Amino acid sequence: MADLAEHIWKALGTYWSSPIPLAILFGTLACIGTLVYVFVTNARNAKLRVSLLTGLYSLSIFFWTFVVSSLTFCLSISTTVAYKAWGVPLAAGGAVLTSFVLSGIVSFVVWRRGAERLLRSIATRTPRAEEQWLVDYFSLVGRFESLPHVELRIADDPKPVAMAVSGKRHVVVVSTGLLASLERDEVESVVTHELMHIKNQDSRFKVFSTVLSRFMFFDPFSKFLDPAVHREREYLADEMSGRTTGKPGSLASALLKIHEKATGSPKAIAGLSIVGREGSVFSRFPPVRERISRLLVLSELLHRTT
């Protein structure tokens, strides 16, 4: 027993003082540091920040999977790592390979299946004749944005709910409560916001990120990155909706109305609704006040006459 403990201790010491694992570790940390610096110095560039956060997320997953796999390899082949010349490269190579394979398998399964399960949990129907105006608008934006295969589904729910879900198929769900409480141009802005989530692959990424952050319980970075990714993607979808409709003010007033009615809505599943819990670094939604203020500035810019 004492021998085994000694082997393990020696293996850990040899491994974490060797150039190969240290280079992988510090190389990844240097990339993370660079991305964080660019992120912090570009406060209002939602498109860039979404890409940076996605990169940061991948690096963080790799970093922590590498650390955990390294420890697992060190423990399982401690004698080899401690006493053989090729022990460290073997463990480091194994850890890198395991990190890629594990992240790949988990990502693929969550990417393909996560949203489908979510969609099955919500009762929806096809739009009725009186909702045809929305179907027409929906297919018009879909044609303009080259999104021909997106379905519009209606949920009979008195709460104002709107969400975009992507799995094997792409679906935008709006509730009857949302249709009843908003003006037509507000509904159109909200639907465009949801279509932008599909265009940017946000709905897939949000479910992916939520499930992965639970799976990667040993990755402390993901606890901050997962909600941050959600928040930046909301800002980007808001901005793109405002530019497409030319009426960012309509989305601003829609957000205000939904926010007032939807507080505590149980449908804010996986951060897919248009509004949800906000106000901290762990919130998946940016503050509605900030979203509205950005949309109003965009509105002023778009309607400025010289």
284 within 8 A of 224, measured Cβ to Cβ: no
274 within 8 A of 193, measured Cβ to Cβ: yes
**In the complex, what is the shortest distance from the CB of residue 52 to Zn ion, in angstroms, rounded to a whole number?**
19
Nearer to Zn ion, 6 or 260 (CB): 260
**In the complex, what is the shortest distance from the CB of residue 10 to Zn ion, in angstroms, rounded to a whole number?**
52
Nearer to Zn ion, 81 or 196 (CB): 196
The token pair at 168 is 């094997």
**In the complex, what is the shortest distance from the CB of residue 79 to Zn ion, in angstroms, rounded to a whole number?**
53
In DSSP terms, which residues pair with 165 in a beta bridge?
A: 171
Buried b (16+ CB within 10 A) or exposed e, 124-160: beebeeebeebeebbeebbeebebeebebbbbebebb
**In the complex, what is the shortest distance from the CB of residue 254 to Zn ion, in angstroms, rounded to a whole number?**
12
Alpha carbon distance 86, 89 (integer Å): 6
**In the complex, what is the shortest distance from the CB of residue 272 to Zn ion, in angstroms, rounded to a whole number?**
8
Residue 52: which residues within 8 A CB-CB, separation 6 or more?
A: 35, 38, 39, 42
Nearer to Zn ion, 70 or 273 (CB): 273
Nearer to Zn ion, 212 or 237 (CB): 237
Q: How many CB atoms lie within 10 A of CB 185?
A: 16
Q: How is the beta sheet containing 170-175 ordered, strand by strand? A: 150-155, 170-175, 162-166
Nearer to Zn ion, 81 or 237 (CB): 237
Q: Which residues bind Zn ion (CB under 5 A)?
A: 234, 237, 274
**In the complex, what is the shortest distance from the CB of residue 271 to Zn ion, in angstroms, rounded to a whole number?**
8
Nearer to Zn ion, 237 or 240 (CB): 237
